[in-house]
Structure 1
């Protein structure tokens, strides 16, 4: 599901303005923001960043595009 959302954004609007908030233990409030411009690849199980960091989809908490929430993990 997340892969479908990310691919749709990538191929229709582009990744510019995209923010992915992930669970990142040790980060401020255990969160980290990944900018759309940092995404190198969208694979079946994870996103891969330009620095080759692999972010599995289960770590994604929220997806925003131009400040608007596109998807949010239910608690």
Structure 2
């Protein structure tokens, strides 16, 4: 199951909320080339990207840049070989 499917399952399954999600993405130039996004900042889950509100404004994050998805501390998705 890919990152998009995991996020959609959380969004539509009903038990958990996207607001409970913490997503780690590849973000060049950030410490360790990683950045965290909180689920409450997700605006839209598109077909190839997620639209999020960042401090610098709305931005589109392609799903292939997601390296980890956690819900309340439990890892639901982790990319095995993230090229950093």
Query: What is the TM-score of this pair, normalised by structure 1?
Result: 0.92
**CA RMSD, 1 decimal:** 1.0
Which deviations, in whole Å up to 9, do the C-alpha atoms of 1:26-46 show, x marking residues without a partner?
Answer: 111100000000000000000
Residue from 28, 43, 50 that aligns with 1:25: 28
- 1: CA distance, partners of 2:71 / 2:47: 21
Q: Which moved more, 1:54-63 or 1:12-21?
A: 12-21
1:56 aligns with 2:62: yes
Query: 1:7 matched to which residue of 2?
Result: 8
Query: 2:42 matched to which residue of 1?
Result: 39
- 2: CA distance, partners of 1:67 / 1:2: 16
Instruction: Find runs of 4+ consecutive structure 1 residues off by over 4 angstroms.
Output: none
Residue-pair matches, total: 75
Q: Which runs of 5+ in 2 are unaligned?
A: none
Larger radius of gyration: 2
